[in-house]
Amino acid sequence: MPDKPVLIMGSAPNVTACAAWPSSRFSAIVAINNAWQVRPDWTHHIAPDDFPDERAPKSLEAGQMRVTSSTYVPANNRYGGILYAGGTMAFTAGYWALAALKPSAMVFVGCDMIYPQDKRTHFYGTGTADPLRDDISLRNLEAKSARLMLHAAAQGCACLRADTLESRLLFPTATPAALEETASLPDAKAFNSVKAQEKELAYHVASGRYWESETAFSPAKLDAIDDLWLAALAA
C-alpha cells in the first residue's frame, strides 16, 4: 500500500489552491472532468461517458491515463455499486481509487458540493451542479460521504478534504498531522450490518446505469440505508 495519499481534484473554485502542491506528496493525482486543467502533472483523468470530447485532455503524457466507465463501474461494483455509492464523479472516483490504487489516504479538493448562488460555482466559471441534480442516488450527499469514508477505513485508507468553510463531505480536514494518521477501522458490527441490508435490498445494477430503471427503486428504502450509514459513522 502506498505511503503517500492520492489527491482527487474536483472543479470547485478552491481546487486551484492545490495547483502548487508538490506532486512528491502524492502517489497519484486524479483529475475529475475539467480538473485536469488545474495542473499538468495529473496521473489519471476520470470522467463519465457523456463528458464532451472537446473538454477532455487532447493528449496523454508519460505516466498519464484516462479512466472510463469500463474501468470505474466494475471498481464501484466491488463496493456495492454506483446506486448505493452515489452517482456523482467525486464518489465514483473515490471508490475507483480505493479499488485500483489502494491508497493509505485520499485527499479531496474541489469536491465540497457547495454551490453559492451569487459566486462562481466552478474554477472555470459557472457550471452545472451535478451532485444537486434530481437523482435517486444523490438524496443525501452527507450519507454518501459517510459510506465512502467507512468503506475506505475498512481497507486502511483515510478520507480527508481540503480545509474549507463548508462541505457536504463529512471527512476530516487534511492537516499534515491527519495525513500521518492511520485510518480508524469502522465499527465492524454497524458497518457489516448496513452492507448486509444493502445486499438484501439487492439494488445492484452491474452496468452502473441505474437511471435506466430508476422507477424500480424505492427512494424511501434508499433513504433508510443512507440513515444507517450516518449512524454507522457515528458508531
pLDDT, tens digit, 9 for 90 and up, residues 107-140:
999 999 988 776 777 777 776 777 778 899 999 9
Structural domain containing residue 91:
6-234
CA distance 122 to 33: 11
Q: What pTM was computed for the model?
A: 0.93
Quick check: is 153 in a domain? yes
Q: pLDDT: is 129 or 27 the higher one?
A: 27
Place of cell 493525482: 29
197 falls within a domain: yes
Task: Report the domain count for the chain.
Answer: 1
For residue 18, count other CB atoms closer than 10 A to its CB. 20
What's residue 1's pLDDT?
43
Give me the pLDDT at residue 23, please. 94
The per-residue pLDDT for range 58-96, each reduced to its tens digit, is: 999 999 999 999 999 999 999 999 999 999 999 999 999
Distance CA 49, CA 45 (A): 12
- pLDDT > 90: percent of the chain: 80
Q: Is 1 among the domain residues?
A: no
The grid coordinates of residue 81 equal 455499486
